[in-house]
Structure 1
Amino acid sequence: MPSDRPRVLYVTDLAYPARGRRYGDEDVFLTSRLRTHFDLALCHPKDAAALLGSFDAVVVRNSGPVMEYREEYEAFRARATATGTPVYNPLTGSGDMAGKQYLLDLTAAGHPVIPTVDRAEDLHRLPPAERYVVKPRLGADSIGLRVVPPEEVPALVDGTVLVQPHIDFAYEVSFYFVDDAFQYALYAPDPDRRWQLTPYEPSRTDLEFARRFIDWNTLRHGIQRVDACRAPDGGLLLVELEDLNPYLSLDALDEARREAFVSAMTASLRRFLGAG
């Protein structure tokens, strides 16, 4: 007998070798909970375009860096747009979903972000530093990232990379949101161990910092992660606004917070699909 529950295609790369993270474990856990509310099937991101026509919606989760399957991803976006299939997160994000241009835009607008330029003639706009970070405009997961001395930077600026001063930060902290609602924060006390995370209790100022980027992105539905670093002056600077497939580090939460996140995501997805 046909089900009247929404049919959801859940996109994940269970076997992606993520450094310090277990994509498969997180998505097995999440789908075990979501199956209570949706008819759900998993697929690899390279198969999503071919399969989405049989589902009411697509949920993109731990699908890995798009740069490793760019052609298939563009085909997926085109097919979803042409068929009107809802995609969660919606494909209108202005953060990492659209590349790294937002770092340039936020820098130009004076937001608290690590200063970023992409042209040799703009290098003078960056604060002096002993080292600089050079990374691909379409990069992810630190792929292609280089830390170089100042004299090497001009030769590397070819239109395909971004340049930032290397910040000697105290720690990195991530803020996790469902729709526009804050869920939890985690931080890495040791800067050299980015994915060894522990719960973080943000101050009101911390939350105001994170929320300004959620408000800027204007995604009404979906999961976003605001990554920041604690700069030497004590303030926070944006490192990344992940709005495509942010890893959630649910294994770093206690059971109560983990289940609260699942409830928030489920409710968000049901609202998104008009299912209550």
Structure 2
Amino acid sequence: MPARPRLLYVTDLAYPARGRRYGDEDILLTSRMRAHFDLALCHPRDAAALMDAFDAVVVRNSGPVLGYAREYEEFRTRALAAGTPVYNPLTGKADMAGKQYLLDLSAAGYPVIPTVGRAEDLHLLPAAERYVVKPRLGADSLGLRTVPAGQVAALATGDVLIQPRVDFAYEVSFYFVDDDFQYALHAPDPGRRWELTPYPATAADLEFARRFVDWNDLGHGIQRVDACRAPDGGLLLVELEDLNPYLSLDALPEEARDAFCTAFTASLSRFVRGALSPA
């Protein structure tokens, strides 16, 4: 293994994310990583062409895959064929693989917003005046619609997910590095998803979040468990981000931000060392 592994850091610094600054976050992270790795940054469209010159690839704020689906599939195919270490590993079962996991977890009885994908299954959902319809391969709210109950059956074409619209109190996100909880942030105003403040997670909150991290069994990497506080006071999963979760590090106090950067760098070092060490 080289003394300073060479990492290709994949990010779309200019992606116009609503309420988020991808570029600022990745500049912060890479500034901390340079003490341990030799780094180069590239756009996700260029990752497949450049990756062979590096020891490992780190996928961070690369934006919705829908915007570069062909290039991403080429990257995945080449990385898997060559055995290139990719962080997060390409074995994720959640958003990395689309939205099917919401159907699977809902059917298995996990605390997820009830979700179906076919018109004949609509009776399995709680009755609601309005429903949320989202593409199975959607991201960042692309293609998401809220429709009256009378229109939902016509939209259940098999390539969408359908959920009752939940009047939740707020959204909260739990951030993990490997299997270790790092911090939680919440959006007190449901209408302002990315106006986040630190959230004091309870033991019950963390038990909820860990169920999904354990289910995904990723081993290494960053995961964000997005949930909403339902009218009955319980938490329901909204999304499990295991591909390129935005971290909202700017919402953290400096000490917590430093602690996350330390945990992330240590995890990445262990991952790369393990991947490059002779068997």
Q: Name segments (4+ residues, structure 1) moved above 3 Å.
A: none
Shift of 1:82: 1.3
> 1: distance between equivalents of 2:150 and 2:68?
34
CA distance in 2 between counterparts of 1:131 and 1:38 reads 50
Query: Letter of the aligned partner of 2:90 in structure 1?
Result: L
Normalization by structure 1: what TM-score? 0.98
Name the counterpart of 1:103: 102
1:27-58 residue CA offsets vs partner (Å, 9 max, x unmatched): 01100000110000000000000000000000
> Equivalent residue of 2:31, what SS?
helix
Q: Please say if 1:36 is aligned against 2:35.
A: yes
What whole-Å deviation, never above 9, does each CA across 1:83-106 have from its counterpart, x for those lacking one? 111000000000100000000000
Q: Provide the rounded CA distance (Å) in 2 between the counterparts of 1:160 and 1:63.
A: 24
Aligned AA (2:60): R
Task: Give SS of 1:201's match.
Answer: coil
Distance 2:271 2:264 in 1: 10
Partner of 1:240: 239
- The C-alpha deviation readout for 1:199-230, integer Å capped at 9, x for no partner, is 00011000000000000000000000000000
Give, in angstroms, the shift of residue 130 of structure 1. Answer: 0.9
CA distance in 2, matches of 1:208, 1:103: 19
Using the size of structure 2 for normalisation, the TM-score is 0.97
- The CA deviation at 1:4 is 2.7
Which residue is 2:17 aligned to? Answer: 18
The equivalent of 1:184 in structure 2 is 183
Quote the offset at 1:274 in angstroms: 1.4
Q: Secondary structure at the match of 1:205?
A: helix
1:134, 1:173 → 2: CA distance? Answer: 21
Match of 1:9 in 2: 8
For the residues of structure 2 that align with 1:249 and 1:160, how far apart are their CA atoms? 30
> Secondary structure in 1 aligned to 2:273?
coil
What is the match of residue 122 of structure 2? Answer: 123
1:145-164 equivalences under 5 Å are: 145-164=144-163
TM-superposed deviation, 1:108: 0.6
Cα distance in structure 1, aligned partners of 2:72 and 2:141 = 20
Task: Provide the rounded CA distance (Å) in 1 between the counterparts of 2:179 and 2:170.
Answer: 25
| 1:88 corresponding residue in structure 2 | 87
Distance 2:137 2:37 in 1: 33
What percentage of aligned pairs have identical amino acids?
77
Mind listing any 5+ residue stretches in structure 2 that lack a counterpart?
Answer: none
Cα separation, 2, equivalents of 1:129 and 1:251: 37
Letter in 2 for 1:169: F
In structure 1, how many angstroms separate the alpha carbons of the residues matched to 2:265 and 2:124? 44
Query: What is the total number of aligned residue pairs between the two structures?
Result: 274
